[in-house]
Every structure is written in C-alpha cells, then in structure tokens.
Amino acid sequence: VPHPPLRWSDEGDRGPAVVLLDQTRLPTAEVELVCRDPAELIAAIQRLAVRGAPLLGIAGGYGVALAAARGLDIHAAARELAQARPTAVNLATGVARVLAASERQEPAGEEPKRPTSGDPVAALAAARALEAEEAVASAAMAEYGLTLVPDGARILTHCNTGALAVGGTGSAFAVVLAAHRAGRLRQLWVDETRPLLQGARLTAWEAAAHGVPYSVLPDCAAAALMAAGQVDLVLVGADRIAADGSVANKIGTYGLAVSAAHHGVPFVVVAPRTTLDPATPDGAAIVIEQRAATEVTTLAGRPIAPEGCTAFNPAFDVTPPQLITALVTDVGVLQSPGRDGLAGLLGR
Amino acid sequence: VPHPPLRWSDEGDRGPAVVLLDQTRLPTAEVELVCRDPAELIAAIQRLAVRGAPLLGIAGGYGVALAAARGLDIHAAARELAQARPTAVNLATGVARVLAASERQEPAGEEPKRPTSGDPVAALAAARALEAEEAVASAAMAEYGLTLVPDGARILTHCNTGALAVGGTGSAFAVVLAAHRAGRLRQLWVDETRPLLQGARLTAWEAAAHGVPYSVLPDCAAAALMAAGQVDLVLVGADRIAADGSVANKIGTYGLAVSAAHHGVPFVVVAPRTTLDPATPDGAAIVIEQRAATEVTTLAGRPIAPEGCTAFNPAFDVTPPQLITALVTDVGVLQSPGRDGLAGLLGR
C-alpha cells in the first residue's frame, strides 16, 4: 500500500497537523509535507502538493479541523481555505460542511463565549466522516465497475483518478485496482496525459505501488494500440457531467472516446454521483478553462518551442453521451447514459 | 528565410565542409555544425543533428563529396555513411548515387592510378543535383497540394515535414508555406508530437521563421479542436506508403486520421513519389520500429515516471487508405488513394 495522499496526525510535541504526500515531488520522491496550520495547508493546495477535486474537499475539511484544534478563527480559516483554488467546487463544499459541524452550539439565549473558535472534536469528526464517505463511494464505484471488466482485461486510462485525486482508491483507478485484485487485469495502459503528465507521474506511481502490471504511452499512440487489438476497455474519470450526459474530463478524453468508438472498444466513465451537475443542461454549456501556453511550450523550465509561441491548451474537453458506453457511479451503472437515465440516478 | 538545414562550404583556409544547422539545439539556439570529414558528418547524423529521411539522403551524398574532396577512400566513406543510421533508405540511396558519380573513369584497359579516391568535381555535382531534385519535388508537391487548400484555411499538421526533414521547403509543410504565401492560410495548428516533440521544436521554429501564423497543441487536444470546428484540413507527411495505400508515418498520425474522419475534416498525405514502396503489399507488412521507453519516461534527462516503468513507444503508426482523403505527390494528386491509383502513379 502506498503512502496515503493525506492524513491527520496528533503525534509529536508540536500538536496536530495535516500531513500531505507532496504530489509535486512524485514519482521520483515520496516526501511528506507537514501542515501545522491552515496557512501552510493553503500554500500546499496552491502549489498543487495536493490536488484532485474530491481530495481537495477532504483537505479543506481537515483544514477547518486544524483551525479548530489550534483555537483559530474557524470562519476566517474556512473563507481562506475555500478560496485557495477557484474551480473545484468540492473544496468549498468540504470546507463548509466541516465548518457547520464545528460551530459551537451554546444553550438557548446564551452568547457563545468564544464566538470565532470552533469545537475541535466535532470538526475532526466531520472531516473524518467526509473522508470515510468518499472512501465508501470509491468502494461502491469499484464494485459496480468491476461488473464491466472482462477476464484478462487490458484497460486503457487517462490522467489520474486514483487515491491521489479522489477519496478511497479513486474512481476509474478504483475499478482498475478491483480488477487487479480479482485477477481479471492483464495490463493497464497509462496515457502519459500531456501537458502536465498526471498519467506518467501519478497514475503510474499508484499502479507501481499496488503491483498493477502497467506501461505508459504517449497520448497520441492510444489509437494505434486500439488498432492492434491491445485494448479491451477504456476507463476514465469525469470532472463534471451535464444533464444530457456530456462528460467534461481532462483534455484528451474526447479523442480517446472517438478512437474507442471507431475500434468498437467500450468507453466507460467512472465518477461519483456528486459529479453530476443537473444545472448544466448540455456539453455546450460547460465552460472550459484555457490554461497558460507555458504548460505546453516549456518542460521543467526549459523552452521546447520558439520564443513567443502560443498554444491551444484547454484543461478539459467534452465527450458527448453518444460516445459513452456506460457511466459507473457510486449508486450503480447507467448503460448509454442520457438525460432520463441521469435524472433517474439523481433521484436514487 | 531561416538558416538552411545543410550547405556545402568552400570558404576559409581549412578546405571544404558540410555545414549543418544543429537540429538538436533548436528551437532555443541556431548553431552551425561544421563537418570537415565524413567521420564528423557520421557523428552528427548519429546524434540527430541532421535528420529526416530525404534530408539524410542529401547529407549522405554530400558526405561522399566531402570524402572525394579530401582525397579519402570514397568506398570506405560511402559504406560508413550508409550505415550511420539503419532505417532511412534515402541515406543509402543518396550515398550510392553520389558514389557512382564520383568513381573515376579511366581510359579503357588502364588501371585507375588511385583506385580508392573519387572525382571531387563529379561527386559535388552529383550531390548538388540530388539536392536540387528534392527541391524540385518539394515545389511540385507545394503546387499540387495548394489546389486542395481552401481560402482562410486552418491547417493541422503533425511532426516535422519542412526543410529540416525534406529537401526544398518540405512535403506537407511546403503546402502550408505555399498556402501562406498565396494568402490562403488563416492558421497553422502544430501538434507538439510526443515523445520527441518534432512539432513544438522544429515545425514551430520553421513556421516562426517564415512568419506563418501558428500555435502548438498537445497531441491529445487535436480532437477537441476539430470538434470546435477549428480545423479545415489535416496535412501530414509519410515515411513509407505500401502498395495498397497504407501510410506509415510518425506515431499519432493514425489517431488524427480517425478523428478527422469522425469530424468530416479532409485528411491529406503529402509525400514524394520516392516514398511509395510497391514491394510492401499492405499496412500489415510494414515493420514498425519500437523505440526506447526512456524517450517517454524521461524529459531532458529527468525521470517523469516511476523507476522501471515500461512504455509502448512505436516510432510510427499505419493509417489505412480508407481514412485518407487524398495523396499529394510530386507528380500529382491521387484522390482516395488505393492499389490501382498508386500503381498508376508509379507508372507516370
């Protein structure tokens, strides 16, 4: 079992801490980063030492628990934690949930004696509950997803969807791991996932740590691998799923889906129900973040393109439901996901 | 006009030389590499300071001319030059052609006085003729290819097919440049082309040098760009074309072709007739070189994947003729290239 991406620590003389596995140092070094107050945790979130929407929610929750344990102003800490990164809704949600649990309840009619400090026991319990729920959702996705994995499967995945991004053992990666443990996985193919290489750096590290047989590949080699009959199933995660079943996920996902359809390879999305966004009607309504050209035009600080080079560098793309064979969630599998099926899933 | 990738020099006190633009230093530095004997040129070929099948043929030819000018054993030099890299047939062809031209013709019945040395004037003339022929072929491809480029075209390309790889201004890139000069090019999209980044490093450098409007993108973002309606035409080169019209080209080409077909974007291959290989019956008969995992698992010498990580890293993939809209050659355009059309082309 690899290092946990995040843990609460009460050890040592220096009091409680949130201990992160510094993801910026992976895969070459496994370095723990000890955050003893919310400010240190915020800095770690901002430099991507911890990342992945669901994992950021858990980290934010523990950040509020840390503020409570330190006797700090929990409202100020929650505000700053929630704003550490703008996009992941899970961060704000996790923070708000632990904040609500840690607000002191005074007897009716009495003013709280220390209105800004929180209940450290309740806060920690709420953060632990959030973490446990994500682990339960991950286990459920693994179980449901396993029903779609054939014997001797060669599975292709993209980006990072394991413990380093999600609670438990992840979303798509949780299914991979379940297949491995069930003796059903012949090979995991890991797209390197340019430009930030979350596949080569993080998914490969998780696969190696769990003894999963794996190889990485340049993203653009996936189609050739499918043509060679070397892929039985594509499993990816999701950042947001619109009401019509369109899936926003890491750039490159859509191209994989097009290729999988061309080769008759099942294309399966694995995501917790919390990723469904009924307020977004369809794929066209999903706003795609455009990221800096330097992510593409430099490597390790060294330019790999001419000076002044611009880049098309969206963080995500959108895969329409017509290209998705099945959606695996923590409450069940939806074949050929569409508007009605998703509405039904949200009603469960 | 950018630096030429290769030129013959007679300047200076130190005698003749083949002067290369060191492609390993691009795009950050434009460094000339002066090769004063075949051994220096062979070393440059082996460390990829000069690359690209047709350009290697020209380099090999000038290498024999250099041996002749230096009074060296031209047969030994030709043997070593031809073996500098194993795959590119053009290298051996170019060397053999200049060697044949430079062998001294003695009057009938007389033994050559210096049997191993060559005729430097004839050798240089043959090398120059080879270079000129490649430039003529490039210009012809540009002219034929231009007939397929619509006004205001946004063209997507992969790998490097310009002067740095081919004679003249290249194959696919020659068409791009012709479109730019004809005022017909709105945008060139350059796939970065993992793992060795020939797009970001070399094609982007050539585009910038010629003032072509361009942007790079991660290879896996090309499908999203097509879905957004931002690509009017895909232009790629070819390393080898089988008798049935299957095209072996840089890894990632096939995935682009699948994506182009899905989006109804014309997919056009540009290659000189010398790339046609009637001895290879079909795509399945094309042997694909598998390259070292370290090309994928390290960047600038730094590991980006776990220790011991393996990789699927083929140098090329094969695109079947069904996915190819047209083949542009130096002797004309073939729509929907197939076995009969290719045979006809070879007969011209």
DSSP string, A23-64: GGGTTT---EEEE-SHHHHHHHHHTTSS-SHHHHHHHHHHHH
What percent of chain A is modeled with pLDDT above 90?
83
- E-strand ranges in A95-227 read 153-157, 185-191, 214-217
Cα–Cα distance measured from residue A227 to residue A265, given in angstroms and rounded to the nearest whole number = 10
Contact B296 A192 (CB under 8 A): yes
One-letter amino acid identity for B276?
Answer: L
Residue B240 has pLDDT above 60, yes or no: yes
B297 contact residues in A (CB cutoff 8 A) = 200, 216
Find the CB nearest B227 among A27, A254, A303: A254
Q: Is A310 on the interface with B (CB under 8 A)?
A: yes
Q: Scan residues 242-261 of A and list those with Cβ closer than 8 Å to B.
A: 251-252, 254-256, 258-259, 261
Under a CB-based contact definition with an 8 Å cutoff, are residues B66 and B39 in contact? no
Q: Given B204, B255, B262, which is nearest A309 (Cβ)?
A: B204
Asked if B219 lies within 8 A of A219 by C-beta distance, the reply is yes
Which ipTM was obtained for this model? 0.92
Per DSSP bridges, beta strands A276-277 and A240-242 are parallel
pLDDT at residue A1 tops 60: no
HSE-up (13 A, CA, CB side) for residue A280: 19
Paired with B233 in beta bridges are B155
How far apart, in whole angstroms, are the C-alpha atoms of residue A223 and residue A161? Answer: 21
Tokens of A56: 């950021």
Phi then psi for A205, rounded to 5 degrees?
-65, -45
Does residue B195 have a cis peptide bond before it, meaning omega lies within 30 degrees of 0? yes
Instruction: Mutation target for A interface from B206, B262, B312, B318: give the one with most A CBs within 10 A.
Output: B312
Is the Cβ of B239 closer than 8 Å to some Cβ of chain A?
no
Q: Which residues contact B101 (CB under 8 A, 6 or more apart)?
A: B119, B122, B123, B125, B126
Region B323-343: mean pLDDT is 95
pLDDT tens, position by position, B74-95: 999 999 999 998 766 789 999 9
State the angle between helix axes of A120-146 and A89-102 in degrees (0 to 180), rounded to the nearest 10: 140
Token pair 């509020």: residue: A64
Q: Which of A229, A218, A238, A217 is nearest to A329 (CA)?
A: A238
Sheet holding B316-319, edge to edge: B276-277, B240-242, B247-250, B316-319
The pLDDT tens digits of the residues spanning B31-46 come to 999 999 999 999 999 9
Is B262 an 8 Å CB contact of chain A? Answer: yes
Q: Write the single-letter amino acid at B255.
A: G
Return all residues near A53 (Cβ < 8 A) that are at least 6 apart: A88, A89, A90, A91, A165, A166, A239
Q: Test B309 with A227 for CB contact under 8 angstroms.
A: no
Contact A217 B313 (CB under 8 A): yes
> Is the Cβ pair A312, B216 closer than 8 Å?
yes
How far apart are alpha carbons A257 and A268 in whole angstroms?
9
B212: nearest CA partner in chain A: A309
Asked if B252 lies within 8 A of A220 by C-beta distance, the reply is: yes
Write out the E strands in A207-250. Answer: 214-217, 233-236, 240-242, 247-250
Look at residues A268, A58, A237 and name the one whose alpha carbon lies nearest to residue A162: A237
Residue A106: per-residue pLDDT: 67
Chain A CB contacts of B216 under 8 Å are 296-297, 305, 309-312
Q: Residue A51: which of A181, A175, A197 has the closest Cα?
A: A197
Q: Which of A121-130, A204-213, B48-57 has the lowest mean pLDDT?
A: B48-57
Q: Are A186 and A156 in contact (CB under 8 A)?
A: no
What pLDDT score does A3 carry?
82
> Which backbone phi and psi does B235 adopt, to 5 degrees?
-125, 125
Q: Identify all chain B residues contacting A252, using CB atoms and an 8 Å cutoff.
A: 218, 220-221
Residue recorded with tokens 């002749």: B68
Indicate the pairing of strand A233-236 with strand A214-217: unpaired
List of chain B residues whose C-beta atoms are within 8 Å of the C-beta of residue A310 = 214-216
A231 has a chain B CB within 8 A of its CB: no
pLDDT of residue B87: 67
DSSP of B88-102:
-HHHHHHHHHHHHHH
Query: B28: how many CB neighbours lie within 10 A of its CB?
Result: 14
Interface check A292 vs B, CB under 8 A: no
CA dist B225 and A252 (Å) reads 11
What is the pTM assigned to this prediction? Answer: 0.92
pLDDT above 90 (res B287): no
**Rounded mean pLDDT of A85-94?**
82
CB pair distance less than 8 Å for A251 and B201:
no
Residues of A with Cβ-Cβ distance to B310 under 8 angstroms:
214-216
Across the interface, whether the CB atoms of A310 and B208 are under 8 A apart is answered no
CA geometry: angle A111, A112, A117, nearest 5 deg: 155
Q: What is the pLDDT of residue A14?
A: 84
What letter represents residue B50's amino acid?
V
Burial class of residue B197 in the structure, from the number of CB atoms within 10 Å of its CB (0-12 exposed, 13-18 middle, 19+ buried): buried
Query: Which entry of A239, A277, A317, A330 is annotated as an active-site residue?
Result: A239
Q: What is the pLDDT of residue A37?
A: 95
Which tens digits make up the pLDDT trace of A267-305? 999 999 888 888 999 999 988 888 999 999 998 788 999
Report residue B124 as tokens.
């240089």
Catalytic residue among B37, B191, B239, B317: B239
Q: Which residue of A has its CA nearest to B299?
A: A299
Q: 3-class DSSP state for residue A226?
A: helix
Tokens of A338: 């569409």
CB A296 to CB B227 under 8 A?
Answer: no
A239 in catalytic set: yes
Inter-chain residue contact B27 with A197, CB threshold 8 Å: no
